[in-house]
Structures are given as structure tokens and as C-alpha cells.
Structure 1
Amino acid sequence: MAGAVMELSSGHKMPALGLGVWRAEPEVLKEIIPRALELGYRHFDCAADYKNEAEVGEALALAFKQGLVKREDVFITTKLWNSDHGHVKEACLDSLKKLQLDYLDLYLIHFPVATKHTGVGTTGSAVGEDGMLEIDVTISLQSTWHAMEELVEAGIVRSIGISNYDIFLTADCLAYSKIKPAVNQIETHPYFQRHDLVKFCQKHGIVVTAHTPLGGGAANEEWFGYKSPLEDPLFLELAKKYEKTPAQVMLRWGLQRNTSVIPKSSKAKRLEENIDIFDFQLSDEEIKKISQVDKKLRSNQPARFWGIDLYA
């Protein structure tokens, strides 16, 4: 297993560096997953909404069959979609079937919102005639969380967590939980550092996983008009100093914040670069400089598709 591991409140360990499969085209995953395993990746971050769990499952099953890794060698995360909050167990079993697994290492509530059910595993985002997301106000996050806890008790999930929760929603979850969330997966990167949320989670024993740890790159620039921190002069300067790429410097920064990072890539060269971040360390002064580039700028804006800003 390459690199550091994070101790979860559940008693299990999670590799600090993982590979996210959001936007990964299903047909290329059969090449990406084995290559990532060969390079040392052992943490794979999936979601029902990514619509590629079946392809990830096929690649993993083949890797297990060929003896490339054993099931216990890998850490697999997937997520409950908004429209399945009232069908937690069924959605989890659907993901397990697609991933060809007997258990999940980590299951997350993808967003803190329940929406109109569109069929287990269909991951729809029903939008009404008014153009606004159809939020199901009859389902509470508390009831969803208790259903998540039942998955642990049933032995089909080892750790449970949340995603895209702010401080207040995280505090609420801690208040009503029997099993506290092991992870909060949030968008955080140098232009959206969210120090208070990160510190709050860590104070209460919740590991923070940084999705979009590089600011989303070209895709988010195209979709949301966002400018990536990869082009920031500070990261270009640090990359030159350490003979690394700006992305490698950012990922190293993420690890030194004691967060887990799950960069996404389907390119072999990037896969190699993203895991090659354990042979250097940023100084305290450099960490301080990075803290000063924060623009408090969210790169991912689901309001564009949902007609309502859930972060308002």
C-alpha cells in the first residue's frame, strides 16, 4: 500500500491517497484500475451517481482473479445518491452487486438532501416544471443516517460517513448518531481551503477527504467558468523548487493538512505523478504562503443543474 493511512473512528484504516472515478469513462476503467493497482493505489472512490460502478466492479473482479491484489488489500468507497435516501439498504445492495463485492469499506451520503425517488440505482435528479430540484421534505437526514448505521450492524459496510456536509449539518449528525461519521468528503483545495470545517471535523474525530483536491481542472473551468489553482504562480514556483508538478505540490499540501486526497485521472502519466508525492515535504513557511492564496471559491456548482443552490 503506497503512502500514509488514515485511522478511522470505526477502527478501520483508509489509505490517505486514493483514485476518484468521477467522470471516468466506463470503457477505459478496465485499463485504469489495473494500472492504478500496479502503481500502488489501494483506495478507490466511487459513487452510484458516477454510473460506472459496474465497470469498476469488473476491473476489480479481474484483478482479484488474476492475483494482482486481494479484496482485503483494497479500500472501496461508494455513495448513496440523493434519490435513494428512503431506500438506503436497497441502494447499498445495488452498488455492492455492481461492484461485485460482499462488503463496502466506506459508504457515504453523497449530498445532504433527499430528492424524489426515481428507482433504486437510477440516480436521477428530478427537476419540477419550475426548474427546481424536487426535494423530498418527508425524509430527514437523521432517518437516512440511522438507515446507514443499520448497514454497519448488518455487516455489509465497515465504515459510514457523509459528504458535502457543512459544520452545522455535521454537528447535527454527531448529535443524533449512534455510530458517528468516520469521514466527511468535501470539496477543498488551495482556492477553497475551508479551514474551519476541516478543523471542526478533525477535532471531532472525523477524517476529511478532499474531493476535487486540484480544483476540478479543465472540466470545471468549462462547466462553471472556474480558474484552477494549477495555474497559480505560487504552485508553479514550488513545483520548480521540488522538481514536481503543481498538482503534486497541491496533493502534498492536502496530505500535510491531515486530509485524504482523491485526485481523478484516466491518463497513465497523471496516475503515476499523483501517487509520487511521498518523497518530499513542504515547509511550514510554504504551508503559510499557500494559506494566503485561498479565494473561498467553490469550483463545483450543482445549482447549474438543479435550479437551486443547496449551499445558499
Structure 2
Amino acid sequence: MYFKRILVTLDGTKIAEKTLPVAELMAKDSETELLLVSICDPKPKITDERQKYLDAKSAELREKGIKASGKMFCGELLPLILKCITDNSIDLLCMASHGYTGIKKMVLGSVSEKLIKSTKLPVLLVKEGYEPDKALFENILLPLDGSLFSETCLKQVSILAHDFKSKLTLLVVIQPPCIPSDRSPNIQPSWDEYYQALLEELKQQAQSYLERLTGELQSNGIKTEFRMEISDNIPETILSTAEDINASLISFTTHNRSGIEKWYYGSVAAGLIENSPHPMLLWRNSI
């Protein structure tokens, strides 16, 4: 199994607890260890109750043969989570995307953005409406754009697909080509002909790219197929494709870029995180 130490954030809510069945699946390897972490206000009654809660959840996991322990901290959320990640050699962060206090702030607010930017760890987000089951890794959707950047998580996702005997669907969303506004309508070929020629070239490039990757993955024993769509709205198309193929997980690469690349990649990721009903596995890359 790729992950050896998984940090699971809990705040005592049922929503946050939806991460636990997911973490259990990830910890099917006997060498994987789960660390349940909660950040709360430094009030004696609250801290005592929260530690008892973490101890109880850890005990339930250990009864299932899973290595697990719980730690409770008081203070500012972001620095404490980052310190816990470093101190415990964590290699995956698992958290719910909605909660009442800490988790809600972490995922939906500025703390979430800072956390993803501040750690190189992959992050598994479980959405509020998600109903846990054993099919989390049954059908993985991996959006790509043909760049090395988007491919940086391909190796890790293929390991997961191999370990869980998943079906992996590769997706490329082609954005329609833009005709320069200063191009005279009298120039030959016509605007429509030029547009179609550019679009056909993009489709051929995407087809070759997807066929190559699919062939490589299939040769390694991974059940793989691909989809190619044309759309200006990349997040919406990714989500509609996820519905079409009944995806159980969406995985993609995030970034720490700036300028136009930050706007482009950041808007796609933000659109998915905000609107996807599916669990998402985000991989950080600093290319």
C-alpha cells in the first residue's frame, strides 16, 4: 500500500466521521496506521470529552485489526495540523469537506487553501453528502490536460487502482479553440473552416495521448478506459462525466503556481471541490 501513516481530522460531528470508513479502506494493509486528530477550544470539559471520543474511535478501529491512535490539541488549527503532520511522518491527510467549526473552516475557508498550499501531502476530501461504502476505489476518474503537471499523480493513482482492482477512467476536456478577434473574415480558410481544423487537430492530439496512456496502464494490468469531451466549462464537464461513468472517486493534481497558471488550475480545482458530490483525492505538485 502506498500510504503508511494517515491523519484523519475529526471534530465530533457525524459529517466528519464519514472519513473513518474511507480511512479504514486505505488502512487495509496491516502496516498502515491511522492517527485521529481533533483541534478544540482549551476548556477542560470540552478537551476531556474530545479525548474520550478519540480514544473510543481509536479503540473501535483497533478491534477491527487496524493500527489507530487519537490525539487532541488546543490552539490554532492550521499550525497544529501542520506540526502534527511533520512530527508524525504523515503521508496522507483525510478530512471531511464540511463540519460545524474546525473542519468547515479548514476546507471551505482560507485555512483550507493555506493548508493545501503549505503541505505537499495528498489530501482525501470526503463530501458532506457522501454515504460511505466499500466501493470508494471501484471506479476512479482522473482528469488530465496533456501536461506533465497533470500527469504527476498518474503513478500514485495507478498504484491505488492496482491495489484495489479499480477501473480507471482517463478524461481530457478539450477547450474549443479561440479565433483571434483581429482575424479578417475574408481570409481563407474561413473562420468556420479554421475553427474546425484547429479543433480536429486538438482532438487528434488528445486521442493519441489518451490511447498511449491507456495502453501503458492496461499493459500493467490496470483496467483502463478513456473519455474525451469538448467544453469551455472544465469543472462542470468533469463532474458530468463522473456522473455518466458512476465514478466513486475523482483524483487530480493541484499546484502552488502563481499568475495565470494559478488562476486556471486553481479555478478548476475550486470548482470541483465546491460542487462535486464525490470524494476527491488531491495530489500536490510544485512544478
- Length-normalised TM-score, structure 1: 0.28
Larger radius of gyration: 2
- Per residue, is there more strand in 1 or in 2? 2
- Length-normalised TM-score, structure 2: 0.30
